Amino acid sequence: MSGWKDNIRQVVPYVPGEQPKIKNIVKLNTNECPYPPSPAVEKAVADYAKSDLRKYPSIACAELKDALKKTYPVTDDMLFLGNGSDEVLALCFMTFFNSEKPVLFPDITYSFYDVWCDLYNIKYKRVPLNENFEIVPEDYFVENGGIVIANPNAPTSIFMPLESIENILSRNRDVIVIIDEAYIDFGGSSAVSLLEKYDNLVVVQTFSKSRALAGMRVGYAMAGKELVDALEAVKNSFNSYTLNSLSQAAAAAAANDIDYWQDCCNKIKATRQRLIKELDALGFDTLPSSANFIFTANKNIDAKSLFEYLREKGIVVRYFNKPRINDRLRITIGTDEEVNRLLDEIKNYIKR
């Protein structure tokens, strides 16, 4: 009886930050954009909804690819689109990491990477960040079955210069190196400029953060044609229509509105600078951020207790109960008003 239980796949899933139902919440826990998407998005979705929903989505995604080509130096056959960059990354792991040697990624990084490795039975090794929470390129000059690096890294917010990425790429020509650029628009420079030189590079980006479309689930990879063809073949062996029509329309509209996108990024960067400065005055030590979040600690404050205090006040940030980082909070950059509320409550906490 219940012998079927033996045949059920057991996995430990990734747990995303919560989406709590709190009135008047200041939600600074999942790195969403605090501003709405470009006004062009609403119109594009409404227009599409009126016309063509009875049809399957476009597989070519031509409109969205045309929009992306305005910003990135790539051709259609170098673009792979998916249902959020999580899906794009999952398909990259399935497609590119098929070695007996371990895949390498930092010990402190996006906690989905080890989940996908476990899902696909990919061997992996965590490479420790240095004491400043930086990636050490030389640590990746060892035999491996592939490399995945978030740049800027999460939750550290630190950007690794492109020269270091290039060092890693040039010393790993026989494996695929994935650079996950979910936060690249908030301060770093993209590795897309290295695609011409390195056929082992895959750059993954998302519409969820800087383009304010987390709910639409759109992500993309940029790589040489051979790698994109391999990704397409794997995807089409699983689900040909990963990216729905409304998401394609929304993402194309967002990608075409370059001014609005840059404006959002600039506002977030300005708010980030102010938040770091004000926290500094309160005795916090914040890592240098190139992302839309900060990773901060205060040696006089217990991070978990501050996290819980803020939550009671309706301000939700992220606390990771993990070695090396359990004295820190990851705080998404909100609007200026949200950040003011956060700072007020931190001051209240200190005053208690």
Ligand X SMILES: *Cc1c(COP(=O)(O)O)cnc(C)c1O
Residues that bind ligand X (CB under 6 A): 31, 84-86, 110, 150, 154, 180, 182, 206, 208, 214, 219
Closest separation in Å from C-beta 152 to ligand X = 9
Cβ at position 30, least distance to ligand X in Å: 8
Cβ at position 281, least distance to ligand X in Å: 28
> Which residue, 182 or 331, is less far from ligand X as judged by CB?
182
CB of 179 to ligand X, least distance (A): 11
Cβ proximity of 117 and 257 under 8 Å: no
Least distance from ligand X to the Cβ atom of residue 31, Å: 6
CB nearer to ligand X: give 150 or 303: 150
Beta bridge partners of 285: 297
Cβ proximity to ligand X: between 246 and 282 the closer is 246
Residue 204 Cβ vs ligand X, minimum distance, rounded to whole Å: 7
HSE (side-chain half, CA atoms, 13 Å) at 235: 23
Q: Compare residues 127 and 346 and give the one whose CB is closer to ligand X.
A: 127
C-beta of 85 vs 256, nearer to ligand X = 85
Instruction: Identify which of residues 150 and 275 has a Cβ nearer to ligand X in the complex.
Output: 150
